[in-house]
Amino acid sequence: MNLLDETKDAISQSGHSTDDVRFVGSRDGKLGIPWSQAEKVLDIDYDDGYGDQEIAVDLVVVFTDGGFLRRAEYDGSEWWEYEPPFRVPAMQWPFKLVKRLSYRTRLLVDLNYLMEATEE
């Protein structure tokens, strides 16, 4: 798999273009280069199949709207996944619990409101 081709495809699938790229770098933002420099760095071939993950796990492509592509993997097979910009909803509900109560409850909303929903 060519990482540059894969990245361009992922950018397009996310609804962006390379003109929308703010930077390519590490997820913590400490390392970063503009798209014009990233094309040369990303123009490499790698094995995206099962086995060892070959591309840096913290590599991201960050867009000007705050969305980004992040590396995802399963058992060594790897790909880009799009994360949309975080938008704070107009209305939020308060919560008190963050620790899982059982193996079934994984989401914050389930931890805090599952009991109320099942009691009604």
**Structural domain boundaries of the chain?**
3-83, 89-120
Q: Is the pTM of this model over 0.85?
A: no
**CA 24, CA 51: separation in Å to the nearest integer?**
25
List strands edge to edge, sheet with 59-63.
32-33, 21-26, 59-63, 68-74, 77-83
pLDDT digit string, tens, across residues 21-76: 999 999 999 999 999 999 999 999 999 888 888 999 999 999 999 999 999 998 87
Contact 61, 4 (CB under 8 A): no
- pLDDT of 23: 97
